[in-house]
């Protein structure tokens, strides 16, 4: 890393951020409503001034309380109405913020279960992320702020004092889509220093999310770090692709891969022809079905089922979270791929299905299990409390990963 150099050799370099922090400390670390108009700037030395700190500079957001509640703040002195939307509000309802005399809007949530939550502000109808929060989770066509609530019940996804792997954004040229694509790849602790080959879990996101979702709100890297350190999971590489198909103009497309035919979804070709060959050329991996697992949630679960059940010679392990074909589609899949399902009885080493008790995908999951029963497939299934949420999908990964590559 290059050392910082002053733009003027005759003038000592002044670091503004530490000065703001010092001012914050002198002011007690709290929001201050001045009795007189605040100065526009502060003189640090003769001829050297910096902008005076504003309430925006001095406030903290998000702030996690000891009870698991989260206080959110937004400096918007000219706004008429501010609310917050996201996972941290039950049933996805909006929560209104109130304004104090300094132009800061704030709200404190109820106590939250340990976990990771996404949220965005609504400011007079405009969607705004939290400008004081550097933690974000990109989706298909937007970005949301991220807050983590620690606690014993969620220790599996906390940043623990254990060896950590690496998460990288990997760009590649897709012959399927005729342009650049991005995937996110996790490598386990010690990968860079050794020469061993690792099995690979290809982990798919749901509709509306992105290749970065599993590594941000899904906490996949931290989950595997903790499982590996505890000896519960084999060290593995996780490849998290972009499952959405771009529109003809090249912009991110939202067409989900929910058909009955894997070949109807261009993502199938992208995975089999572009992603897997690239991974197996570029990383030290076990390049056979015993070293490959495929899993996905919601839309990604249908893609995983479409691909994994019809390419069991490529994947030995299959995980399906909160998913299943829609009623109008499942019959078509059964008629198209009945022979594949029969062959899967001996080809798949693991078929694992999970869904929530209030999950919108629960009826589809149950119908899918009936189809598996009809063809005599051996599977493990799990119904948890809760719905179609990242809270459940993180727990699904914790249960699924230790079963792989045994």
pLDDT on residue 248: 55
- Whether 327 and 377 map to the same domain: the answer is yes
Collapse the DSSP code of 331 into the 3-class scheme (helix H, G, I; strand E, B; otherwise coil) and give the result.
helix
Task: Verify that 317 and 365 share a domain, yes or no.
Answer: yes
Write down the pLDDT at residue 44. 81
What was the pLDDT predicted at 27? 40
Q: For the chain, give percent helix, strand, coil, nearest 5.
A: 30, 25, 45
Q: What mean pLDDT value characterizes the chain? A: 89
Can you read off the two tokens belonging to residue 26? Answer: 């002198």
Same domain, yes or no: 85 and 202: no
pLDDT score of 257? 63
- For residue 75, give its domain range: 60-150
Q: Could you tell me the pLDDT band of residue 273, with boundaries at 50, 70 and 90?
A: very high
Phi, psi of 234 (to 5 degrees): -70, 140
Q: How many domains does the chain have?
A: 3
Would you call 54 exposed, middle or buried from its count of C-beta atoms within 10 A (0-12, 13-18, 19+)? middle
Average pLDDT over residues 278-286: 98
Q: What is the pLDDT of residue 263?
A: 78
Q: Where is the domain boundary, 99, 124, 150?
A: 150
Residues whose CB is less than 8 angstroms from the CB of residue 199 and which lie 6 or more positions away in sequence, other chains included? 234, 236, 237, 285, 286, 290, 291, 292, 293, 404, 405
Q: How far does CA 36 lie from the centroid of its chain? A: 45
- Whether residues 120 and 180 fall in one domain: no
Residues 82 and 93 sit within 8 Å (Cβ to Cβ): no
When pLDDT is cut at 50, 70 and 90, the band that residue 45 belongs to is confident
Percent of the chain at pLDDT exceeding 90: 77
Calpha distance 284→253 (Å, rounded): 32
What per-residue confidence (pLDDT) applies to 249?
53
Average pLDDT over residues 354-360: 97
- 232 and 330 share a domain? yes
Question: Do 321 and 348 belong to one domain?
Answer: yes
In a domain? residue 33 = yes
Query: How far, rounded to the nearest angstrom, does the alpha carbon of residue 216 sit from its chain's CA centroid?
Result: 4
Do 296 and 368 share a domain, yes or no? yes
Kind and range of the H or E run holding 116: strand 115-123
User: What mean pLDDT do residues 264-274 have?
Assistant: 92
d(CA 115, CA 153): 8
Co-location of 190 and 97 in the same domain: no
Q: Which two tokens mark 309?
A: 């059940």
Same domain for 366 and 221 = yes
| 197 pLDDT above the threshold of 50 | yes
Q: Is 155 among the domain residues?
A: no
Handedness of CA 324, 256, 343, 327 (dihedral sign): positive
Between CA 293 and CA 10 the distance in angstroms is 60
Q: What is the sign of the dihedral through the CA atoms of 364, 349, 242 and 359? A: positive
CA distance 120 to 143: 9
At residue 113's C-alpha, the angle toward residues 109 and 117, to 5°, is 65
Q: Nearest Cα to 251, choosing from 303, 179, 203?
A: 179
| Alpha helices in 27-81, H assignment, sequence order | 55-58
Count of alpha carbons within 13 angstroms of residue 300, beta-carbon side:
26
As a whole number of angstroms, the distance between CA 326 and CA 363 comes to: 9
Please indicate, yes or no, whether residues 290 and 386 belong to a single structural domain of this protein: yes
The pLDDT of residue 37 is above 50:
yes
- Within a domain: 132: yes
Span 141-170, pLDDT tens digits: 899 999 999 999 999 999 999 999 999 999
Q: What is the pLDDT of residue 43?
A: 84
Task: Identify the CATH number of the domain in which residue 67 sits.
Answer: 2.60.40.10
pLDDT in tens, 86-134: 998 877 789 999 999 899 999 999 999 999 999 999 999 999 999 999 9
**What pLDDT shows up at residue 38?**
60
CA trace torsion 272, 278, 284, 288 (10° rounding): 20
Query: What 3-state class would DSSP assign to 365?
Result: helix
In a domain, 254, yes or no: yes
- Within 241-281, strands assigned E span none
Phi (first) and psi of residue 267, to 5 degrees? -60, -30
Q: What size, in residues, is the chain? A: 406
CA 359, 363, 367, 369 dihedral sign is positive
pLDDT in tens, 213-240: 999 999 999 999 999 999 999 999 999 9
311 and 294 in a single domain? The answer is yes
Model confidence pLDDT, tens digit, residues 313-342: 999 999 999 999 999 899 999 999 999 999
Longest dimension (CA), the chain: 83
The answer to whether residues 99 and 196 belong to one domain is no
- Mean pLDDT over 56-70 rounds to 95
Beta bridge partners of 138: 143
pLDDT band at 59 (very low <50, low <70, confident <90, very high): very high
Q: What is the pLDDT of residue 42?
A: 83
pLDDT tier at 47, thresholds 50, 70, 90: confident
Token pair 């670390």: residue: 29
User: CA 396 to CA 214: how far, in whole Å?
Assistant: 12
Check which CATH number belongs to the domain holding 188 and give it: 3.40.50.1820
């Amino acid at each position: 890393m290059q050392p910082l150099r002053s733009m003027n050799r005759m003038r000592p370099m002044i670091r503004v951020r530490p000065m703001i922090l010092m001012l914050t400390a002198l002011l007690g670390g709290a929001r201050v409503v001045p009795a007189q108009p605040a100065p526009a700037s502060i003189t640090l030395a003769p001829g050297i001034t910096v902008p005076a700190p504003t309430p925006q500079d001095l406030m903290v957001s998000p702030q996690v309380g000891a009870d698991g509640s989260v206080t959110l703040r937004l400096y918007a002195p000219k706004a008429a109405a501010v609310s917050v939307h996201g996972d941290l509000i039950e049933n996805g309802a909006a929560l209104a913020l109130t304004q104090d005399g300094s132009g800061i809007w704030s709200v404190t949530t109820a106590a939250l279960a340990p976990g990771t939550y996404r949220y965005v502000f609504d400011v007079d109808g405009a969607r705004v992320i939290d400008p004081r929060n550097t933690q974000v989770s990109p989706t298909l066509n937007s970005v949301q702020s991220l807050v983590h609530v620690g606690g014993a019940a969620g220790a599996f996804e906390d940043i623990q004092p254990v060896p950590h792997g690496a998460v990288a954004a990997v760009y590649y040229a897709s012959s399927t889509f005729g342009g650049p694509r991005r995937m996110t790849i996790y490598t386990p602790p010690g990968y860079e220093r050794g020469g061993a080959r690792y099995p690979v879990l290809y982990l798919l996101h749901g509709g509306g999310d992105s290749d970065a979702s599993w590594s941000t709100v899904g906490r996949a890297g931290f989950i595997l770090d903790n499982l590996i350190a505890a000896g519960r999971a084999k060290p593995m590489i996780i490849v998290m692709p972009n499952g959405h198909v771009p529109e003809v103009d090249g912009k991110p497309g939202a067409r989900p891969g929910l058909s009955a035919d894997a070949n109807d979804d261009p993502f199938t070709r992208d995975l089999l022809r572009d992603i897997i060959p690239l991974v197996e050329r570029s990383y030290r991996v076990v390049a056979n079905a015993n070293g490959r697992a495929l899993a996905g949630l919601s839309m990604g679960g249908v893609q995983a089922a479409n691909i994994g059940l019809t390419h069991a010679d490529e994947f030995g392990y299959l995980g399906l979270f909160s998913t299943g074909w829609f009623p109008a589609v499942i019959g078509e899949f059964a008629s198209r791929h009945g022979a594949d399902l029969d062959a899967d009885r001996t080809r798949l080493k693991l078929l694992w299905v999970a869904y929530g008790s209030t999950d919108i995908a629960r009826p589809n999951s149950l119908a899918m299990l009936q189809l598996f029963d009809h063809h005599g497939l051996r599977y493990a299934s799990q119904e948890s409390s809760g719905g179609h949420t990242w809270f459940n999908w993180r727990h699904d990964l914790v249960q699924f990963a230790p079963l792989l590559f045994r």
